[in-house]
Amino acid sequence: MSLTEIFIRRPVMTVLLNIALIAVGLAALGKIPVAALPRYDTPTINVSANLNGASPETMARSVALPLEKQFSTIAGVDAITSTSPVPPASRNVVPNVASWPT
């Protein structure tokens, strides 16, 4: 007698077995740990620009300001941080991941 034949000949046992499997699954579902907010690393874009022989003021005016203006037009950017000590100028752009299309 094959396994399928047993289930065909005994429909009540088949229904009760299915109900038992569903009940065990529902009971186990409540015990599975699920993190509310999973951990992830926020993506960061780092842009570095170099203008040989330029002073920090020149880097800020000629390189940093135009870059910041362009970065500010990008949709979904949370923060833009910048440094312009001695060349190269550095920009960090932190995008808003929640606003990205899926």
Give 44-87 pLDDT, tens digit per residue.
Answer: 777 777 777 777 777 778 877 888 888 778 777 777 777 666 55
Strands 77-83 and 89-95: antiparallel
* pLDDT recorded at residue 25: 92
**Burial, 60: exposed, middle or buried (Cβ in 10 Å; 0-12, 13-18, 19+)?**
middle
At 17, the pLDDT band (50, 70, 90 cuts) reads very high
